[in-house]
Amino acid sequence: MTANPFKPTAGKMPPILIGRHDIVESFMEGLENGAGAPGRLMLLTGQRGFGKTVMLTELARVAEGNGWAVAMDVASAGLVGRLTEALRARGPRVTRANVSPSIDIAGVASLSVGGVELAGAATSLTLRTAIEERLKKVGDGKGVLLAIDESQAASREDLVAVATAYQQVLQDLDLTNVPDDRKKGVALVLAALPQLTDELLNDEVLTFLRRSQQHVLAEVPMPDVRNAYVEVVQGSGKAIEMDVADRAAEASLGYPYMVQLVGYYMWQSSKRRGSDQILLEDVVQGEKDASLAFQDAVCAPAFDGLSGAQREFLLAMVPDLPGASRVSDVGARAGKSLSWANKYRASLISDQVLAAGGRGLVRLAIPHMGEYLDRVAARLGE
């Protein structure tokens, strides 16, 4: 029997990128249109489960397919060292990292604003130099892409190092006396949770990111999800009626990760029945299984990443679920002032955990967060 075509694992490429083609096209245009093209500097934001990692992976694949060298990594301690090493085709091994005078991380490079210390070499290779050396190995009109996921986890030192190297290389390339169609380039794409955006754009060193193309990944339109289900299911050897695909799309709420989860579990349900057709009963079962998986994979990390006061605000909304909550009621249940309630209402809306639900009202913006909060409240009440 055909393998399940849906891929809900984080970062795994789905069968098709639903509703994201404009981002890919903009990036491709940036690669084609040369230095200074807007698509070469991009900031992707969205809550967990909105497909930031998938999109970043797709852009890296597009760049490689167009002859660009790609250094892609997840932000964490030693980021600049790993990017630098990734750009080096061969050479001495990077031994340890130091992103500030007080941080020394075994196993990666020794850094200070992009510098690395190499085992067996007396020279210091900066990230800037690593990019420029790699540019020598790509074809005319091609370049280097730096793609950084989970940028909210990067230290300011690492982000400044990347930004400094990026801008320095751009300046160096601008000074080359080469026709535009042959001039090599550099591109930078950052993916981050929404709460990082203001910090990035307001940092005195990183303000150049204000010129970036900013894409907020949001829900996918229902017709696109339905059509994607029909295309993927039929293309993989099963059948699904249009009304069943509509029900599956509704179950996903247009949330990209839920699209994959619902698809995966409804496929598994039909497989357990030994059937080549996905029925309504498979969608119903798939929605139940997908909801639990989504709560554990998306809602739990989102909740755990909030401040204590933000979590307290959300738990005070539980009696109103699944409906909207009046902000004044939330503050009263938490035993706090209205100014406290308004402060954390604003912060949770900024973090895209809540959405305004009308005058003085808020509602949850993350699918199945209500069910997860019910589970948390029940545990706390035991």
Ordered by start, the domain boundaries in the chain are: 21-87+127-216, 222-302, 305-381
**Closest among 87, 107, 79, 70 to 163, alpha carbons compared:** 79
The answer as to CATH 3.40.1350 being correct for domain 222-302 is: no
pLDDT at 113: 36
- The fourth-level CATH superfamily of domain 21-87+127-216 is P-loop containing nucleotide triphosphate hydrolases (3.40.50.300)
Rounded Cα–Cα distance for residues 14 and 16 (Å): 5
pLDDT at 198: 63
Rounded Cα–Cα distance for residues 104 and 126 (Å): 17
Q: In this structure, what token pair is assigned to residue 31?
A: 């690669």
Rounded Cα–Cα distance for residues 149 and 189 (Å): 9
What does 191-225 look like in DSSP terms, one character per residue?
A: EE-GGGHHHHHHSTTTGGGGGSEEEE--PPPHHHH
pLDDT at 358: 82
317-321 LR contacts (CB < 8 Å, sep 24+)? 317/362, 317/364, 317/373, 318/373, 318/374, 318/377, 321/364, 321/370, 321/373, 321/374
pLDDT at 9: 63
196-247 pLDDT, tens per residue?
Answer: 666 666 666 666 777 788 888 888 889 999 999 999 999 888 999 999 999 9
pLDDT at 351: 81
Ranges under pLDDT 50 in the chain: 11, 13, 90-124
pLDDT at 56: 93
Q: Which helix (H) or strand (E) holds 44?
A: strand 41-45
pLDDT at 106: 31
Going by their DSSP bridges, the two strands 96-100 and 103-106 should be labelled as: antiparallel
CA distances from 54 to 18, 255, 290 (A): 11, 13, 19
1-48 pLDDT, tens per residue?
Answer: 578 988 776 545 455 567 788 899 999 999 998 877 889 999 998 877
pLDDT at 382: 60
**Closest among 23, 52, 41 to 208, alpha carbons compared:** 41
Contacts of 332 (CB under 8 A, 6+ apart): none
pLDDT at 116: 41
pLDDT at 377: 95
Contacts of 254 (CB under 8 A, 6+ apart): 219, 220, 221, 222, 225
What does 260-323 look like in DSSP terms, one character per residue?
A: HHHHHHHHHHHHHTT-SEE-HHHHHHHHHHHHHHHIIIIIHHHHHTS-HHHHHHHHTTGGGTTS
CATH topology of domain 305-381: Arc Repressor Mutant, subunit A (1.10.10)
Going by their DSSP bridges, the two strands 143-149 and 185-192 should be labelled as: parallel
pLDDT at 333: 96
The residues facing 124 across adjacent strands are 117
CA atoms within 13 A on the CB side of 140: 6
Residue 335 CB burial class (10 angstroms; 0-12, 13-18, ≥19): exposed
pLDDT at 180: 76
The length of the chain is 382
Going by their DSSP bridges, the two strands 213-216 and 41-45 should be labelled as: parallel
Identify residue 218 by its one-letter amino acid code. A
Rounded Cα–Cα distance for residues 101 and 94 (Å): 18
Q: What φ, ψ does residue 267 adopt, rounded to 5°?
A: -65, -45
Rounded Cα–Cα distance for residues 164 and 288 (Å): 48
